Amino acid sequence: MMRETRYIKAINEALSEEMARDENVFVVGEDVGGAGGAFSATRDLLARFGPRRVRDTPISEAAIVGIATGAALRGLRPVAEIMFADFLTLAMDQIVNQLAKARYMFGGMYTMPVVIRAPCGAGLHAGPQHSQSLEAWFAHVPGLKVVMPATPHDVKGLLKSAIRDDNPVLFLENKALYAMKGEIPDGEYLVPIGKAEVKRPGKDVTVVATSRMVHESLEAARILAASGIDVEVLDLRTITPLDREAILQSVARTGRLVVAHEAVKAFGVGAEIVAMVCEERPALLRAPPARVGAPFVPVPFAQEKLYLPAAADVVRAVQGVVSA
Amino acid sequence: MSETRNEQLAVLESMVRIRRVEERLAELFTQGNIPGFIHVSIGQEAVAAGVCSGLGPGDSVLTTHRGHGHAVAKGIELRRFMAEIYGRQNGFCKGRGGSMHVADRNVGVVGANGIVGGGLPIALGTALASQYRGEKTVTVCFFGDGASNEGTFHEALNIAALWSLPVVFCCENNSWAQFTPQSSYMKVTSVAQRAAGYGMPGTCVDGSDVTQVRAAAREAVERARSGGGPTLLECKVLRWQGHYVGDAQKYRAPDDVKEARTHDPIRSYAEVLGAAKVLEPGDLEKIEQCVKAEIDDAVAFAAASPMADPADLLTDVYA
């Protein structure tokens, strides 16, 4: 049986189910307790699991990640919340130098089952310091996994997988999707980390999309269908480890590649994907690939619509690739 | 406070072991046997030996780039310790960490840290794990006066006090931040004063006097173990050597170094124990012989160990 739920509620369900399942799982972050989270992701968890396992912190992002790291070194499975992905910058040493490297640097002595949840993305007029998509920075760090779910179904299944994963997972939720509704199964299910999914099959061009851009790409596919262009939308779901096989298989079917993400286009995940296809299977490409991403400016407060990549940008990119 | 002769001799032996290990490391490094760089704590042994003498194997220690002493005092096995610093395959970290990242979880050496102030937030997590599980174990986080100017110090001490975490923040105040004297980076001269700002007790002791260190550490550890929360324990120490082995210390007045070396925690504790007839003629020589044999064995083990395995370059990035 399927039922409808919102993206934010799906996150809450995943946390609640995993905390009930495993006593070692706890949540820690700013406003996660009494307030139930700035976006309600942790609503009712305090009442259900108590203050030992639902821990409100001061506004101290480095400490939040440090708590998670230290607790994982001692065998716990923390889920840290950083209120906005932009604030991950305040914890960069703890994430990059400490958490991500602990297993390798200490010769495999430790497993580091830490999840850091953080809402990313623009669309709420939150301004330059509350709207960024920084996934490429973290995808560049060996030791981290980076996950970006696009639907209520995937956010729940991936968060449960992330909590059960023995590695640090940066779990980037798109806050513009929090209110989105979608179908999820009634019972327990997992979505594997590292597996992309074809959200719409097509034969003319592959659009590899992440997070909110999955929906913009699906909209673009509907528009392009009217002019006879059949777009395949591949939702990457996980940034690292990158599902190379799924990308190459899709491009093998279509012969054309567009990558669409909300982060600035320059030096982004799109560049990595295009480079990977060009290096590994250049013969698959019947046309030069294209990237859709934000311009190289901070996220503006008022002119968000102008800034944000949208379906129309994907349509243009696909038309360009198809006519090349 | 009564303690047995064996306990006192064990503390003396621990200090001697740290001193001789680091002297050997400096020598081996200078000879080119050890890659990278080495930071020694010679002259500061009373802090490591004194604090760790009150800890058990279930207690956690986090340490710094100048952390050999803490690891040795906590009981790390010298063979694999030395092999790690040599960068060999059977070092504790398979030669991936080196001198600044020595760790052995089995004796509670959670890990040394190359980032100044980097261990402070992590200590919250290891201490929280004790509290979370209802264990009576504690965490000791060593750091320097330089680290107390990092933002992580503020974040960590505030939360530790707020949550009454079982942690001792042990500051080794050697009055130097690498090549810069303390007067250039702090208005206050005692880090312990800062404890008041977090609502935790702060104590400052002479870190060259192992008896003082032990008494203060015992109190702090007992407070942590019994649920009384954290303590900021400052041990004032003197840096006999440079920031790293080979540092000519041209930024430092020669008399300052000379003066530092008059405060020898090993010699003074040996005198105290001698006067109390705890240390008898010949005892110190026996300790030295025993320690030398251990170090010779560890160095031989490290030198004979296989180099880090090329097949291991890509493993352990993920579990």
pLDDT tens digits, one per residue of A170-195 = 999 999 999 999 999 999 999 999 99
Half-sphere exposure of A308 (CA within 13 A, CB side): 21
- A324 pLDDT band (50/70/90 cuts)? confident
User: Is the CB of residue A182 less than 8 Å from the CB of residue A155?
Assistant: no
- Cα–Cα distance measured from residue A242 to residue A233, given in angstroms and rounded to the nearest whole number: 16
B151 Cα to chain A: minimum distance (Å): 9
Query: What is the total count of domains within chain A?
Result: 2
- What are the chain A neighbours of B317 within 8 Å (beta carbons)? 103-104, 142-143
Q: Is residue B123 part of a domain?
A: yes
Phi, psi of B310 (to 5 degrees): -55, -30
Range of the domain at A290: 197-323
Q: Is residue A253 part of a domain?
A: yes
Q: Which of A130, A153, A215, A261 is catalytic?
A: A130
User: Is the CB of residue B66 less than 8 Å from the CB of residue B143?
Assistant: no
3-state secondary structure of B229: coil
Q: Is residue B67 part of a domain?
A: yes
User: Is the CB of residue A243 less than 8 Å from the CB of residue A300?
Assistant: no
Q: What residues does B141 pair with on adjacent strands? A: B62, B169
Q: Do B317 and A102 touch (CB under 8 A)?
A: no
- Judged against a pLDDT cut of 90, whether residue B3 lies above it is answered with no
Boundary (domain end) residue, out of A132, A155, A185: A185
Q: Is A188 on the interface with B (CB under 8 A)?
A: no
Q: What residues does A240 pair with on adjacent strands? A: A146
Range of the domain at B190: 5-306
Predicted confidence (pLDDT) per residue in B267-300, tens digit: 999 999 999 999 999 999 999 999 999 999 999 9
**Is there a catalytic annotation at residue A215?**
no
Q: Is residue A9 part of a domain?
A: yes
- Judged against a pLDDT cut of 90, whether residue A132 lies above it is answered with yes
Quote the tokens at residue A13.
């369900």
Q: Do A102 and B132 touch (CB under 8 A)?
A: no
A155 Cα to chain B: minimum distance (Å): 22
Residue of A nearest to B124 (CA): A67
Is residue A135 located within the same domain as residue A172? yes
The distance of Cα A156 from the centroid of its chain, to the nearest Å, equals 12
Residue at A52: amino acid letter: R
| pLDDT at residue number B314 | 96
Residue of A nearest to B105 (CA): A109
Boundary (domain end) residue, out of A154, A185, A216: A185
- Judged against a pLDDT cut of 90, whether residue A93 lies above it is answered with yes
Q: Is residue A307 part of a domain?
A: yes
At a CB cut-off of 8 Å and minimum separation 6, what does A304 contact? A122, A123, A125, A131
Q: What is the CATH number of the domain that holds A35?
A: 3.40.50.970
Q: Is residue A52 part of a domain?
A: yes
Is residue A178 located within the same domain as residue A205? no
Candidate from A74, A108, A143 with C-beta closest to B129: A74
| pLDDT at residue number A211 | 98
- Judged against a pLDDT cut of 50, whether residue B1 lies above it is answered with no
- Judged against a pLDDT cut of 60, whether residue B82 lies above it is answered with yes
Cis peptide before A185 (omega within 30 of 0): no
Q: Is residue B172 part of a domain?
A: yes
Is residue A44 located within the same domain as residue A94? yes
Q: Is residue A19 part of a domain?
A: yes
Query: What is the total count of domains within chain B?
Result: 1
- Judged against a pLDDT cut of 90, whether residue B319 lies above it is answered with yes
- What are the chain B neighbours of A60 within 8 Å (beta carbons)? 155, 158-159
Is residue A36 located within the same domain as residue A152? yes
- What are the chain B neighbours of A143 within 8 Å (beta carbons)? 317-318
Residue at A283: amino acid letter: A
- What are the chain A neighbours of B103 within 8 Å (beta carbons)? 106, 109
Over range B36-57, report the average pLDDT. Answer: 96
| H or E segment and range at residue B45 | helix B45-52
| H or E segment and range at residue A205 | strand A205-209
Q: Do A70 and B319 touch (CB under 8 A)?
A: no
Q: What residues does A32 pair with on adjacent strands? A: none
- B2 pLDDT band (50/70/90 cuts)? low
Q: Is residue B205 part of a domain?
A: yes
- Cα–Cα distance measured from residue A120 to residue A137, given in angstroms and rounded to the nearest whole number: 13
Where do we find the tokens 């959670």?
B110
Q: Is residue A190 part of a domain?
A: no
Residue of B nearest to A99 (CA): B122
Q: What is the DSSP letter of A250?
A: H
Q: What is the CATH number of the domain that holds B165?
A: 3.40.50.970
Predicted confidence (pLDDT) per residue in B199-224, tens digit: 999 999 999 999 999 999 999 999 99
Is residue A62 located within the same domain as residue A170? yes
- What are the chain A neighbours of B91 within 8 Å (beta carbons)? 107
- Cα–Cα distance measured from residue A224 to residue A200, given in angstroms and rounded to the nearest whole number: 13
Is residue A34 located within the same domain as residue A175? yes
Q: What is the DSSP letter of B306?
A: P
| Residue of B96, B122, B131, B152 for testing the chain A interface, max A β-carbons within 10 Å | B122
Phi, psi of B177 (to 5 degrees): -105, 95
The full length of chain A comes to: 324
- Cα–Cα distance measured from residue A116 to residue A85, given in angstroms and rounded to the nearest whole number: 10
Is residue A163 located within the same domain as residue A213? no
Supply the DSSP string of B258-300, one letter for each residue: HHHTT--HHHHHHHHHHHTTSSPTTHHHHHHHHHHHHHHHHHH
